[in-house]
Every structure is written in C-alpha cells, then in structure tokens.
Amino acid sequence: MATDTEPKDFADIHPDRVTALNEKDIDQDGKYVLYWMQHSQRTEWNHALEYAVRMANSLDQGLVVGFGLMQDYPDGNERHFRFMLEGLLEVQEALLDRNIKFVLRFGDPAEVCLALGKDASLIVCDRGYLRFHREWRKKVAESAAVKVIRVESDLVVPVEVASDKQEYAARTIRKQLMEQYQEYLERPAHRSAQKSSKSFSIDKLNFTSVDALLDQMNIDRSVAPVEDFTGGTGEAKKRFRKFLKEELSDYDDYRSNPVEQRVSRMSPYLHFGQISPAYLLSELLDKRATDDRKSYLEELLVRRELTHNFVFYNDNYDNYNCLPDWARESLEKHADDDREKVYTRDELEAADTSDPYWNAAMRQIKQGGYLHNHMRMYWGKQIIRFTNTPRYAYQTALYLNNKYFIDGRDANSFANVAWLFGLHDQGWKERPVYGKVRIMTPGGLERKTDPEAFVDRVAE
C-alpha cells in the first residue's frame, strides 16, 4: 500500500510492494534516510534501495545504507559468509558511486538498524520471509522512533497478492501467478543520491577485503568456501547471460539430467538477494517463446514463489509438523517398517552408505555446495529409507541441506525438504517405509538419467 508521504515519481515501484510498518512520522530533522539492507543485497533492480534514494532526495537529505553482519546467523558458516561478503563488497562500491555511504557493523541486524535509525528521519527496509526475518522487522517497526517503510523486492508477485492462504501445490497457485506476473516486472530506475552521505561520520567496519574481514570474524569454519561460485550481482549477471545464450535452448530437455547440468545456477544469488527475480524474468522474456522459456518460467516463478507462500503461511515451515496430515499419518504408520540398513547422521555426512549414487551426491554437496535438482530429489528421498524414523529423516535432510548448500536456509530449502515428505504432492501407491509418499529408487534414476556418469564426475 502506498503511503501519504511519498514523492510523486514512484510509478516504477509498484504500490503493492510498499507497506508502512508503523504509524510513526518522518522526522524532518533527522540527519539522513536509512535503508536497512538485509535480504535484497544488491544495488540493481532493488526496489527498496530506489525507494529510499527518492525519499532522501525529496527530503533533501543524504541516504545511508546499513547492514548488520550477524556472526551467529542461523546455520551460517564460512561457505555462506564468504559468498555473501563478496556480494556486499560489490554493493559498497556501487553505493559509493551513487554518493551513498555503506555502513557495515557486526551485530543483530535489527539492533544495528535501530542504532543507525536513531539519527534517521525515516527507515526503509526490504522484505524477508522466514520467521526471524519477520521478527526483526516487527521489532524495528515497534522500537524505532520514526516511520518504517518496507519495500518488497525478492519476489516477482508480492506474497499476499499471489495468495491469501497456504496453497496446496503448484497447480493451485500457477494460474494467479501467471495472470499477475507481467504487472510486477517494473524496473525501478536508478537514481543517485542528490546529497552525498559519503563524508558522514558514522562508526563502521573497515571493509576493504573479504579475506581481511573473514579473518576478524568468529564464525563456524567447519565448511569450506567453494571455488565454483563467486558472490555478487556482476557474477550472477555474467552467469545468467551465458545460460541464456548457451544453455536455455536445452533447458526443457536437460533440466532433469544431472550430468549435462544445463541449468542457470541462480539459486545462491537469489538466496542472498544478489540478483532480482524480476530482472531474471525480464531478461528471459526477451527471448523467443519456446518450451525452454516456459519451463524456466515455471521453476523461477511458480515453484520458487510457491515455496515463499509456504514459509509465509505455515508457522511450522521448519519442522516435521508442517507436513500435510495424509503424509504424516502414512509415514507414521510405516515408521516401524524394516529398513535395509539404517545409518547414523555421521555416516550419512561422511557419504558412507551402500548406495554409490547417493554417496556421490553427498560428496558433491560437501565439496561444491550445489547439486542439480534431480539429484537433490534422489538424495533427499533416500534419507527416508536410510534413517530409523521419518521425523529423524526430516531433521537430518534439513540439517545437511542447510549446512552445505550455498543456497541453503532459503524458503526453497524448507519447502523442498518438506516436499520429500509429501508437501505440495499427492498420495501415491502405498509402499514400505514411505507409505503413500512418493518414492525414488536407484532403478528409476538409472532409467531416467546416467548416474554412473554422475558418479564419475564427482571426485572421491
């Protein structure tokens, strides 16, 4: 909803993206407008940033962008932090080019925002979907002395516009999304801040190198960074352009082929808000309409936005109780069924099972932080038969997913792990262990793909 305080030149920021989170006033005597960056970690196609620039210009104030770097971020480790900081260094440089100071501080994001917000006339924030993201924004809105405006920028269609309830499956949300998305592909024009904040004296971390900052941080270093992915919007755009030019034309045929891997690998960049989904869709729609384009649209728009619908409307999104009743009942009925062999979590993490395909997938996740969708499905489904109860399987799948994937800890992570156990799916023929939940078998994998070739590609 639009607010009564905004300047008139907002035609390129859809009013549905903008929500006032409190009823406080703008403090005309504030020293600057604050954009508290959290989820949308980019300077291009960032509706929240562009909104904040325009507000600062209309108030004749400088704009400061603040970011709270939380060293104990849930399930965060060096792999995630390095990727994120690579992106933030790029953000800092791009903001300076636009006369905007970037203030990075260690601390709880909401606390950092509130501390910087003490001198602000207005706080603008972006939108996060997980429980703690929402709690941070609630706390800021309640505790700040000034108006707080949230601007959504990481979904194409804002979550409540797409649906006002938890959807059952892709088929129940597809029509709304397909009818609405064109309306939300507006590109927010870039403006520079008319009044520079670069010389403002504000305490901040000295952020000139990712390595130097990582060295100062007290974080979990048990998971090493990966070579295949470098963070940042520039890198994301380069990768996506290559995908559109060289790989999109085979996407529909090869999407389920883990050996060819003709996929975009945009998920880590989307997770850290380093690339905008609306930008990706706009670039995609510039291409000739084909089955490949249609198929990519289905993944990026329908499947991804369905997962955000799930975490937004289901309070149990991160635990077993989120599952549909039919799935839980059926899994519980088969909880005591004999398993061929049960493994401990350590054995699974060591990629030490009797299934060479599964072991290769697990090694790839640990080494590369990324796995092709079809192998993720196979990998996750086997955890159900490899563990002693469905509840434990669920916790183990989520634990491994969020620890090792660079795109882990995302709405996509929670919804897709839950999918392994029946979410957004239907009941199938009843079988041991899985009950009515869909199974995937080594034989099925062999029929559909070439898992031997996949194993050959993954180092021991």
Ligand X SMILES: Cc1cc2nc3c(=O)[nH]c(=O)nc-3n(C[C@H](O)[C@H](O)[C@H](O)COP(=O)(O)OP(=O)(O)OC[C@H]3O[C@@H](n4cnc5c(N)ncnc54)[C@H](O)[C@@H]3O)c2cc1C
Q: Which residues in this chain contact ligand X in the complex, by CB under 6 A?
A: 255, 263-267, 270-271, 299-300, 303-304, 307, 373, 376-377, 380, 401, 405, 407-408, 410, 412-413, 416-417, 420
Nearer to ligand X, 225 or 369 (CB): 369
Nearer to ligand X, 33 or 270 (CB): 270
Q: Quick one: CA dihedral 228, 232, 238, 242, positive or negative? A: positive
Where does 98-152 have alpha helices with state H? Answer: 109-117, 131-143
> CB neighbours (10 Å) of residue 281?
19
Nearer to ligand X, 104 or 306 (CB): 306
* Minimum CB–partner distance for residue 420 and ligand X (Å): 5
Residue type, 83: F
DSSP 71: T
* Minimum CB–partner distance for residue 319 and ligand X (Å): 16
* Minimum CB–partner distance for residue 428 and ligand X (Å): 16
Count how many residues are written for the chain. Answer: 460
* Minimum CB–partner distance for residue 85 and ligand X (Å): 20
Nearer to ligand X, 80 or 376 (CB): 376
* Minimum CB–partner distance for residue 226 and ligand X (Å): 14
* Minimum CB–partner distance for residue 415 and ligand X (Å): 7
Nearer to ligand X, 26 or 300 (CB): 300
- Closest by CA position to 435, among listed 423, 425, 444, 422: 422
Nearer to ligand X, 47 or 374 (CB): 374
Spatial separation of the C-alpha atoms in residues 315 and 167, rounded to whole Å: 14
* Minimum CB–partner distance for residue 410 and ligand X (Å): 4
Spatial separation of the C-alpha atoms in residues 384 and 441, rounded to whole Å: 12
- Closest by CA position to 12, among listed 184, 233, 149: 184
Give whole-number Cα distances, 140 to 25, 61, 124, in Å.
14, 21, 11
4 contact partners, CB below 8 Å, separation of at least 6:
none
Spatial separation of the C-alpha atoms in residues 83 and 68, rounded to whole Å: 16
Spatial separation of the C-alpha atoms in residues 362 and 24, rounded to whole Å: 50
Nearer to ligand X, 147 or 271 (CB): 271
Spatial separation of the C-alpha atoms in residues 188 and 225, rounded to whole Å: 33
